Structures are given as structure tokens and as C-alpha cells.
């Protein structure tokens, strides 16, 4: 870790202190070393910030520090288990909006990324959106397929170097925090930075976002009510992403939607059901469905989504888990929800399933009989994840991202239709999934997954045998070992024990 990383870290600390971001901490709850640090840092606080709210203080500081810190704030917003619910809620309002870079740089960036094909773009607009990583322009593309309007997303110049430098300083800060305040290790600051690092590396290669759009497009191409743009691979590189252009009214503009004759109730229903369908059917969902990424097409009444830098993925096992949870709350079957938590291993077997089911009933029962507008699916899931902590449930990052996404979707849907009946609209999607997965077709799919696992495991047996033979040959060449017979016995016994364990595992996997 270079000395420059610590200088950048010191600058970041000064900016955070100057902008009043340290005021978000409950100083009495901090260890003594950190209490002293916060008190010292607040000596540099500008007088003006005392009059602003704490959300504004934190977001202003992160925006001043630049794109890496904006991304760090957004990452922490998805981890209330680490920063606490209040700070996570504050960070959730952090918008990924930055000043655009100079339009004059665009031709050179396109030529560098696309070569001669860059000349096929004309009529470039001013940036229609500018975020921390990239900005988007509207343009006209003329090629062998004709003349079309497209969206061109261009990575910010120098953004990779900036990210790598800032990430290095954040690693330095995380390691320093763990060293100075050992109690902070339970919050895993290094892991938080590592999560941001992985996310940034993916977002800094626009080909990976293009691949996500392509997979998403294939999943939903036969669906109705929810559409996304299509990738134009010939005009896409690691720094440029070109897609078809999509028109629509911003979904947050209720007045414009009403003036265009858009059915907002139908739009809200489409949004919620589409999100659940993508999640439980495909296990691959748009994880950043805030109002700025959603539009409505007044001609087709479809929802149009953009910006696929953050996508969520859950396995078939987790999809079944989610569907059963929602279905259990819809049907008031709290035992089902409890059983799924134990079956998937989220709650240890040492806990009482009956007591856990009782705790779930305390969450679900107050929702029934209430007005539709007072019932929040996101709130129920939030209470669920909070309750599971009492039963030693381990943190599941994929479920936290899913919960955050559901909060966004439900918030947008309720803004469109304040009387939205969350549970009635959800039942056809999650109910069909539960009935399907519990039926013959679902069992066949589970059997196929088990069979694939068996085939993969059996495929490893020759390699295991080869390694055992090599180890025995090496042993035979070793004539000087005083414990030769004992070592041979242990080696052969270990091999057969491993083989026996493998066969038993396969036997149980097949349910024989």
C-alpha cells in the first residue's frame, strides 16, 4: 500500500469532516478511540452545515469526493447490517448524478473505442444523463441496416485510474480502522471495500453491462408490459455501449402520465408483477429500479427500463425460498415460512422452529385486516430480516440486495397508485411459482439439478484416482521413509474413506 494512498485517505477524511458528515455518528455508541477522532474531526466542520440535515451533509461530502465515494455510499446503502438502518436509509437517497464531461471529447473517445465505425454516428445530443461512471447521449446511427436513433453510453475519461487510486486508499482506511479499533472487525470494513471493488470492476467494463442487457432481454422478450432496449454489439466496446433508443414519459411525472392518458394503476401493477416475475422465474432482476431509470410508453402503456449497471441474481434455491416466504405471508402460513428458513440453512437447527413461526406470526398478523394502502411488502421483509437476527440467521447479501430492490419497486408503484393492493397483485406470480415448484414439473427440475450435480461429481472421480495413483507412485519411490507401511496404510485408507463419503453423498442426493 503506497504512501499516496494514505494521503488520499487523509484528504477524504478532511472533506468528510469539513462537510459535516461525521455528525451522522452516535458518538456515545462509538469506542473511545473513535469518539476522540470524531470530536477532533468536527472541529473542522463548516458552520453552514449545522443548519442542513444529516442526509444532505453526508451526500454532499460523498459527491465532493467524487464517483468512487458515491459508489461506496450506494454500496453501504444496501448493507444496513453493517452501517445500521438509519445510515443506510440516509444513503439510499444518494443519487448517482454528476456533471457531464466535455462534449468535445466524445469524437476522440468513440474513435479510440470503435475505430472506423465511429464515423457512422451523427447528430450527437448533449448528455441526456450523466452518472459517476459514464454518461449517455442520443445519436443517429447510419449503417448497412439503415438510419436509426440510438443511445450511446460512454465511460468517463480517466475514470478507471481514478477508481483504482481511490479504492487503494479505501483499502488502506479499512485496514487501518481494523488495526486501531479491533471491534470494527465485526463490521467487516475490508469486505465492504472489496464488495465495492468487485462492483466497480464490473461497471467499468461496459461489455459486461451489455451482456447483462442481452441476458435480460432474452428472458423477457415474450413478456408483456415491461420492455428494455436491445444491445447493438457492433458498436459496443469496453468503454462504449450502444443500444436502441427508447422513448417514454418519466414514471415519476404523474401529471404528464395523466395528460397522456396512461393508466397509472395498470402501470403500477405491471411494474410489481414484472419485478416478481424476473426474480422468482428467472432469478435475474434489475436491482436499481429507481424512478430515474423507469419510463412509460404512452402508446403501448408499457414500462420501459434503462441503466443495467446493477443487476441482481439469485439461485433456484433462493427463488423458491423467496416465493415461499411471500406466499406464506399471503396465505398466513407462518409454519411454511419457518420451515423454509430451516431447510435452506438460514436459521440454525439449534433454534426452535415453533418459536420462529410464532415470531413470524407477530409480523404477519398485524398486516391482515388493514387498509391496502397501509400494508408494505418491503416493510414486512425488513421486519422479517430483523427478526431472523434474534434466531442467529447469518447475513445474506443477496437477500439484502433483493430487499433494497423491492423497497424501490414498491415505492415507485405506490407513487403511481397509492391504493395498490400489494398482496393480491403478487399472488398470481408467487402462487403459480410455488404450485409449479411443488408439483411434478418442479420435482423434475429439482431432479435434473441433482442429476447434473451427480454427473459433475462422477466426472471428478478419474482425477481423484489419478492423484491417488500419483501419490502412491511417489511413495514407492521414497525408500527412506521409516514409517513407510503406516504411511501407505493411511494413504490408501484415506482414499477409500473419501470415495465412501462421496458415494454416500451421491446416494443421499438422489434420495435413494
The C-alpha angle 242, 243, 249, rounded to 5 degrees, equals: 130
CA distance 139 to 152: 7
Query: Residue 420, Cβ neighbours under 10 Å: how many?
Result: 22
The angle at the Cα of 113, spanning 108 to 119, to the nearest 5 degrees, equals: 60
| Catalytically annotated residues | 288
CA 477 to chain centre: 53
Distance CA(408)–CA(381), nearest Å, equals 13
For residue 496, the tally of other CB atoms under 10 A from its CB is 10
- Which DSSP letter does residue 402 get? H
b/e code 199-210 from CB counts within 10 Å (16+ = b):
bbeebbbbebbb
Write down how long the chain is: 512
Q: How far is CA 4 from the centre of its chain?
A: 31
Q: Give phi and psi for 153, each to the nearest 5.
A: -100, 125
Cβ contact 304:356 at 8 Å: no
Longest dimension (CA), the chain: 91
From the centroid of its chain, how far is CA 146? 37
60 burial (CB, 10 Å; 0-12 / 13-18 / 19+) is: middle
312 touches 287 (CB < 8 A)? yes
DSSP string, 93-151: T-----PPPPGGGHHHHHHHHHGGGGGGEE-PPSPSEE-SSEEEEEEEEEETTEEEEEE
CA end-to-end distance (rounded Å), the chain: 54
Q: What whole-number distance in Å separates Cα of residue 149 and Cα of residue 189?
A: 44
> Is the Cβ–Cβ distance between 107 and 152 less than 8 Å?
no
DSSP 8-state class, residue 421: -
The radius of gyration of the chain's CA atoms, rounded to the nearest angstrom, is: 27
How far apart are alpha carbons 134 and 330 in whole angstroms?
41
d(CA 139, CA 186): 49
The strand ranges marked E within 198-329 are 226-227, 240-244, 249-250, 284-286, 294-297, 302-305, 311-313
> Which residues touch 221 (CB under 8 Å, ≥6 apart)?
none
Would you give the distance in Å from CA 438 to the centre of its chain? Answer: 28
Amino acid at each position: 500500500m503506497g504512501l499516496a494512498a494514505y494521503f488520499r485517505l487523509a484528504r477524504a477524511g478532511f472533506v468528510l469532516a469539513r462537510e459535516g458528515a461525521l455528525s451522522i455518528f452516535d458518538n456515545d455508541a462509538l469506542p473511545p478511540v473513535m469518539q476522540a477522532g470524531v470530536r477532533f474531526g468536527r472541529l473542522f466542520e463548516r458552520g453552514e452545515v449545522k443548519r442542513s440535515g444529516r442526509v444532505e451533509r453526508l451526500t454532499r461530502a460523498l459527491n465532493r469526493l467524487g464517483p468512487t465515494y458515491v459508489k461506496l455510499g450506494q454500496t453501504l446503502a444496501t448493507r444496513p447490517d453493517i452501517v445500521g438502518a438509519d445510515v443506510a436509509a440516509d444513503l439510499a437517497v444518494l443519487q448517482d448524478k454528476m456533471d457531464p464531461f466535455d462534449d468535445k471529447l466524445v469524437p476522440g473517445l468513440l474513435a479510440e473505442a470503435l475505430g472506423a465505425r465511429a464515423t457512422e454516428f451523427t447528430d450527437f445530443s448533449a448528455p441526456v444523463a450523466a452518472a459517476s461512471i459514464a454518461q449517455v447521449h442520443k445519436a443517429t446511427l447510419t449503417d448497412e441496416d439503415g438510419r436509426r436513433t440510438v443511445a450511446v453510453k460512454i465511460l468517463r475519461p480517466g475514470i478507471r485510474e481514478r477508481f483504482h487510486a481511490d479504492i487503494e486508499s479505501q483499502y488502506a482506511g479499512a485496514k487501518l480502522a481494523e488495526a486501531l479499533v479491533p471491534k470494527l472487525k465485526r463490521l467487516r470494513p475490508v469486505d465492504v471495500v472489496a464488495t465495492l471493488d468487485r462492483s466497480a470492476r464490473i461497471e467499468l467494463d461496459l461489455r459486461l453491462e451489455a451482456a447483462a442487457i442481452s441476458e435480460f432481454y432474452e428472458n423477457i422478450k415474450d413478456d408483456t408490459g415491461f420492455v428494455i432496449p436491445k444491445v447493438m454489439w457492433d458498436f459496443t466496446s469496453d468503454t462504449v455501449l450502444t443500444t436502441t433508443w427508447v422513448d417514454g414519459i418519466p414514471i415519476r411525472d404523474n401529471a404528464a402520465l395523466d395528460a397522456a392518458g396512461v393508466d397509472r394503476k395498470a402501470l403500477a401493477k405491471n411494474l410489481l408483477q414484472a419485478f416478481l416475475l424476473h426474480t422468482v422465474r428467472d432469478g435475474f432482476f434489475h436491482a436499481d429500479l429507481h424512478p430515474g431509470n423507469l419510463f412509460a410508453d404512452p402508446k403501448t402503456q408499457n414500462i420501459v427500463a434503462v441503466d443495467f449497471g446493477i443487476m441482481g441474481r439469485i439461485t433456484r434455491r433462493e427463488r423458491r425460498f423467496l416465493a415461499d416466504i411471500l406466499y406464506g405471508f399471503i396465505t398466513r402460513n407462518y409454519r411454511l415460512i419457518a420451515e423454509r428458513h430451516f431447510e435452506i440453512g438460514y436459521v440454525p437447527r439449534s433454534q426452535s422452529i415453533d418459536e420462529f413461526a410464532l415470531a413470524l406470526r407477530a409480523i404477519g398478523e398485524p398486516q391482515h385486516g388493514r387498509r391496502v394502502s397501509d400494508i408494505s411488502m418491503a416493510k414486512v421483509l425488513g421486519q422479517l430480516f430483523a427478526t431472523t437476527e434474534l434466531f442467529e440467521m447469518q447475513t445474506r447479501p443477496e437477500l439484502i440486495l433483493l430487499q433494497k430492490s423491492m423497497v424501490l419497486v414498491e415505492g415507485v408503484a405506490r407513487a403511481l397508485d397509492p391504493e395498490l393492493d400489494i398482496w393480491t397483485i403478487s399472488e398470481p406470480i408467487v402462487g403459480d411459482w410455488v404450485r409449479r415448484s411443488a408439483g411434478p414439473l418442479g420435482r423434475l427440475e429439482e431432479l435434473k439439478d441433482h442429476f447434473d450435480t451427480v454427473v459433475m461429481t462422477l466426472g471428478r472421480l478419474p482425477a481423484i484416482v489419478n492423484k491417488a495413483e500419483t501419490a502412491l507412485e511417489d511413495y514407492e519411490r521414497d525408500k527412506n521413509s521409516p514409517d513407510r507401511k503406516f504411511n501407505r496404510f493411511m494413504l490408501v485408507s484415506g482414499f477409500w474413506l473419501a470415495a465412501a463419503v462421496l458415494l454416500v453423498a451421491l446416494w443421499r442426493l438422489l434420495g435413494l
